[in-house]
Amino acid sequence: MTLPALVVFTAFGLIPLLGVVLLSFTTWNGIGAIEPSGLDSWSVVLADPGLPHALWVTFLVMALSWLFQTPVSILIGTFLAGQHRYRAVLAVLYFVPLLLSSAAISITYKALLDPNFGLGAGLGVPLLRQDWLGQPGLALGVVVFVVSWQFIPFHSLIYQGGVRQIPQSMYEAAELDGAGTVRRFFSITLPQLKYTIITSSTLMVVGSLTYFDLIFVLTAGGPGDATRVLALDMYKRGFQANLMGPASAIAVILVLVGLGLALLMRRLGGKDTDSQLEGM
Amino acid sequence: MTRRNWLGGAAGWLWLAVVVVPLYWIVVTSFKAQRDYFTANPLAPPIRPTLDNYQLVIESDFPRYFLNSIVVTVGATVPAVLFSFMAAYAIVRGGSGRFLRSVNALFLMGLAIPLQAVVIPVYLIIIRMRMYDTLMAIILPSIAFAIPLSVLVLTNFIRDIPRELFESMRLDGVTDWGMLWRLAFPLTRPALVTVTIYNGLTVWNNFLLPLILTQSPDQRTLPLALWSFQGQYSVNVPAVLASVVLTTLPILILYAVGRRQLLSGLTAGFSR
């Protein structure tokens, strides 16, 4: 009974994974014949200053979006887990960004941030009326913000589940000992959320390698190559410059970085998280 | 929990504004005439509400893209869930065998393969199978990439079914196939719904596979159609936003009908 799943997964998951390694040792323009070319693609890619740049941008997006999303998600998750009069109403609206496609979100922000036709221009507020996507530093900031806008609801949901699993008795005991809200948050909630934090962070960090659609539609890697992350670099080399060999080499690097990060997060979490991380 | 959480509350309300303002802006603007859009306050409701933008979007072949998206989503989600369910059943029931253990390990490893990283060989395979620029080209890889997580979630659920139930059915002479449908299926229904929703939304919103595996306008799915529509009408912000509303509407309706199911579907396997 495993046969259908096994066949489809092998054909379009496993074989492509091996295929991308093989293709990185060939030359192919995407249409014609595939010629073996040894280490040519790798030497092109590794000598190109575009690679360290793409790695750096990928790292920046990953680190900044983690730094932004994690505290906000923990706060909102804790807030949503509590009893609150408006909680139900809030929750309905919070999760709407989860339902939108990355393409829809990017298109919306592209229109919203337009210096001539966007929200800032219409409101006439000079501070908001910047060329958000036209300046390298700002564009990177916008990417981080839009990523967070899309994914904070998801991580809040995970933290909400985590907070709900903390035994109520721990809070009652702390209250008897006279611990205030802030103290309870840092002494009970945060330590108890350790595994939730690791799960959520792993998803954020590994997931950040795959923010392709969002960046592709929002900035297409620009201005210049300011937001050209690894996945975008691969797409542009492969499907726009028709250099499938070097693009495959980038893809292999992408897989290796992803695996490395997953293992790193696993180590950070210690052995007991193994069973939880299987849930990814 | 009755204690007050000021910081969480402040963050909650602030982030709510950050979420709601763009959403409100999308909806309001989509009902404005293009000439009004430039003159009035962008956050004010439309002076003369109009459906012209929606008409323009619908006339730009969106019903066709909508249909394509439905075909791809149903065509990928149903087999993916069915195959994963069968595989999960086999893994749980015969899990001690070496073959099934390695199959399970294989799927777990599959969780770590990012779709982006393998699109080039997928593209090659699709060309060689002469399926380039068809909806089938999007469907097959979508099934493959839905399987690992679905199998994981479903095995966890089937594992919770008491062993005795299977044994008593076996004594009654029921086959594995019969047990799959008459015992495992009804008992895992919540997990099946969850997995279906998660995969359905993922496929519905997928952008990369249609971008790489199709070319002609009549094979476009909605996210890709949105993107090319925006390229064509970038100055007509109200029309672009109307297209965003239209493509999101079906999911919003689903969200209104079954919010709980949808949200638990989205975190399937992540927060247990």
Residues of B in contact with A14 (CB under 8 A): 106, 110
Which member of A6, A79, A111 has the closest CB to residue B237? A111
pLDDT tens digits along A105-134: 999 998 888 877 777 777 767 777 777 887
pLDDT tens digits along B83-94: 999 999 998 887
| Confidence (pLDDT) at B88 | 92
Q: What is the mean pLDDT of chain A?
A: 85
Interface contact B259, partner A, CB < 8 A: yes
pLDDT at residue A84 greater than cutoff 70: no
pLDDT at residue B3 greater than cutoff 60: no
| Confidence (pLDDT) at B33 | 84
> In Å, how far is A162's CA from the nearest CA of chain B?
7
For the stretch A230-259, what's the b/e string if a residue is b when 16 or more beta carbons lie within 10 angstroms of its beta carbon? Answer: bbbbbbbbbbeeebbbbbbbbbbbbbebbe
Q: How confident is the model at residue B147 (pLDDT cuts 50, 70, 90)?
A: very high
Q: How confident is the model at residue A224 (pLDDT cuts 50, 70, 90)?
A: confident
Which range in A125-129, A133-137, A156-160 is most confidently predicted, on average pLDDT?
A: A156-160
Domain boundaries, chain A: 19-277
CATH class of the domain whose range is B61-266: mainly alpha
| Confidence (pLDDT) at B95 | 63
Write out the DSSP string of A72-109.
HHHHHHHHHHS--TTHHHHHHHHTHHHHS-HHHHHHHH
pLDDT at residue A279 greater than cutoff 60: no
Structure-model confidence comparison of residues A151 and A180, the more confident one = A151
Among residues B202, B255, B264, the alpha carbon closest in space to that of A92 is found at B255
Best residue in A21, A26, A29, A79 for a mutation probing chain B (most B CBs within 10 Å): A79
Residues of A in contact with B119 (CB under 8 A): 16, 235, 238, 251
Look up the CATH superfamily of A19-277.
MetI-like (1.10.3720.10)
Structure-model confidence comparison of residues A78 and B210, the more confident one = B210
For the stretch A74-84, what's the b/e string if a residue is b when 16 or more beta carbons lie within 10 angstroms of its beta carbon? Answer: bbbbbbbbbeb
> A109 and B22: CB-CB below 8 Å?
yes
**Residue A224: half-sphere exposure toward Cβ, Cα within 13 Å:** 10
* Lowest-pLDDT range of A96-100, A222-226, B40-44, B211-215: B40-44
* Lowest-pLDDT range of A46-50, A170-174, B261-265: B261-265
